[in-house]
């Protein structure tokens, strides 16, 4: 499966307004998300599994890859496309050993961390936080768009920018040359996740065509 990282939407039940994660996922797929990550902390394993299984059916039908945050066991059990890890999760090398063929993403906030993750077998990187954010994304201090560009240049695997990305700062993020942008609160916490996704997707596509320069 070729992965389109352009608009990487991350779920978080705490940010959803009276909507289940499943309803939100359906909306963001309709709106043009190219990849979905389920990031739900402190759910009992069975509940996380059941949600992931339901979402997996939706993403499969839509032809959209599904990534599970942290829980390699759930990723494998629901046959998700990948797992996203950070420094509080399983070490990359061990996850790779357990799951040789799974897509494994890793969070990085510096050139050093990015290169280490690439060496350890990451398939892509989540780099940030680009801007400051209240959403906990295992991403530390805000690094800014310039640093993001440096990290993107320092590795050869795809880079997804994450952290505080909005329609306003999207141009400088896209111009850094990253392969995609990860969005949590600006989409999941929006009144209409569908409309928010549509706007992000439209703006990304527009910026990529270079029409803004």
Q: Cβ(125)–Cβ(152) under 8 Å?
A: no
Strands 7-11 and 35-38 come out as parallel
Q: Which does 94 bind (CB under 5 to 8 A by kind): a second copy, Ni ion, none?
A: a second copy
Whether residue 28 contacts residue 190, with contact meaning beta carbons closer than 8 Å, is answered with no
107 catalytic residue (yes or no): yes
**Quick one: what does residue 210 bind among Ni ion, a second copy, none, with the CB cut-off 5 to 8 Å set by partner type?**
none
Crossing angle for the helix pair 111-119 and 144-154, to the nearest 10 degrees: 30
138 interacts with Ni ion by CB under 5 A = no
Q: Would you say 127 and 178 are in contact if contact means Cβ atoms under 8 Å apart?
A: yes
Q: Is 133 flagged in the annotation as binding?
A: yes
Catalytic residue among 17, 57, 97, 136: 136
202 binds, among Ni ion, a second copy, none (CB under 5 to 8 A by kind): none
**Using rule CB under 8 A, residue 120 touches a second copy:** no
How far apart, in whole angstroms, are the C-alpha atoms of residue 183 and residue 32?
13
Per CB under 8 A, which of residues 39..78 are in contact with a second copy? 42, 44-47, 49, 70-74, 76-78
Instruction: Report, in Å, the least distance between residue 84 CB and Ni ion.
Output: 11
Is residue 136 flagged as an active site residue? yes
The listed partner (Ni ion, a second copy, none) that binds 97, CB under 5 to 8 Å by sort, is a second copy
Q: What is the DSSP letter of 76?
A: H
Q: Which is nearer to Ni ion, 70 or 172 (CB)?
A: 70
**Closest C-alpha among 165, 201, 198 to residue 184:** 165
Residue with tokens 């902390």: 41
Q: How far apart are the C-alpha atoms of 32 and 200, rounded to whole Å?
A: 9
CA neighbor of 1 nearest in space, from 90, 64, 74 = 64
- Exactly one of 40, 70, 149, 172 binds Ni ion (CB under 5 A); that residue is 70
Question: Is residue 39 part of an annotated ligand binding site?
Answer: yes
Query: Rule CB under 8 A: is residue 191 a binding residue for a second copy?
Result: no
Q: Restricting to residues 36-55, which ones interact with Ni ion according to CB under 5 A?
A: 45
Residue numbers annotated as active site? 39, 107, 136
Residues at the contact surface with Ni ion, assessed by CB under 5 A? 45, 70
Annotated binding site: 37-41, 69-70, 89, 107, 133-136, 164, 184-185
């Amino acid at each position: 499966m070729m992965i389109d990282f352009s608009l990487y939407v991350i779920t978080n039940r705490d940010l959803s307004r009276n909507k289940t994660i499943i309803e939100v996922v359906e909306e963001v797929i309709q709106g043009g998300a190219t990849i979905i990550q389920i990031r739900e902390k402190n759910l009992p394993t069975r509940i996380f599994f059941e949600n992931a299984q339901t979402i997996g059916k939706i993403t499969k039908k839509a032809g959209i890859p599904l990534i599970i945050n942290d829980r390699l066991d759930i990723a494998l059990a629901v046959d998700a496309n990948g797992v996203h890890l950070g420094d509080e999760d399983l070490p990359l090398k061990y996850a790779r050993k357990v799951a040789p063929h799974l897509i494994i993403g890793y969070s990085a906030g510096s050139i050093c961390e990015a290169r280490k993750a690439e060496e350890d077998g990451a398939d892509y990187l989540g780099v940030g936080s680009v801007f400051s954010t209240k959403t906990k994304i295992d991403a530390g201090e805000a690094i800014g768009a310039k640093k993001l560009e440096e990290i993107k240049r320092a590795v050869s695997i795809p880079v997804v920018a994450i952290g505080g990305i909005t329609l306003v700062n999207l141009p400088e993020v896209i111009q850094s040359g990253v392969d995609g942008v990860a969005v949590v609160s600006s989409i999941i916490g929006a009144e209409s996740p569908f409309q928010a996704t549509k706007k992000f997707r439209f703006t990304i596509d527009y910026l990529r065509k270079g029409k803004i320069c």
